[in-house]
Amino acid sequence: MFFVGNLAVETTEAELRAAFGEAGHSASRVTVARLPDDQRSRGYGFVYLQCLDPDAVISEMYGRELNGRGMRVQRSHSGRTHALERSTRIVVECPTDARRETLERLTALGFNCKVEHGSGKAPQG
């Protein structure tokens, strides 16, 4: 999976897929991160490719122009989107057995989970 930054706000998944396709790379999935309120692009996305040489893809695609902007292409650090890694905190308030099962499911989905022992009080709004 590749992180693609510096995208113009009007860039669509189809355009991003086509840009990689023109270079001979067939993407299995393309995602452009969007703002939840109005669905405008956040200026980055992810391209899922099966490739033998990720460094060759990066050197070929980095700086290539799409909608008037040079794409910034790099390997994604993991299978999760960067926005989830930086900003999502999931609080699980439930009995111990259910908490363990929930944490195991989240970990299996690729989330980096850790257990925080709180005061037992309900979180303040």
Q: Where are the domains of the chain?
A: 2-78, 89-125
Answer yes or no: are the C-beta atoms of 27 and 47 closer than 8 Å.
yes
Measured at the alpha carbon of residue 84, what is the angle toward residues 78 and 86, in degrees to the nearest 5? 95
Count of CB atoms within 10 A of residue 44's CB?
19
Give pLDDT, residue 115.
Answer: 62
Give pLDDT, residue 95.
Answer: 59
Output the pTM of the full model.
0.61
Count of CB atoms within 10 A of residue 36's CB?
6
Answer yes or no: are the C-beta atoms of 71 and 2 closer than 8 Å.
no
* Domain covering 2-78 assigned CATH 3.30.70.330 in the classification: yes
Q: Which residues contact 8 (CB under 8 A, 6 or more apart)?
A: 41, 43, 66, 67, 68, 69
One pLDDT digit (tens) per residue for the chain, 125 residues = 899 999 999 999 999 999 999 999 999 999 999 888 888 889 999 999 987 788 999 999 999 999 999 999 999 875 454 444 444 455 555 556 666 777 777 666 666 666 655 545 544 54
Helix (H, G, I), strand (E, B) or coil at 67: coil
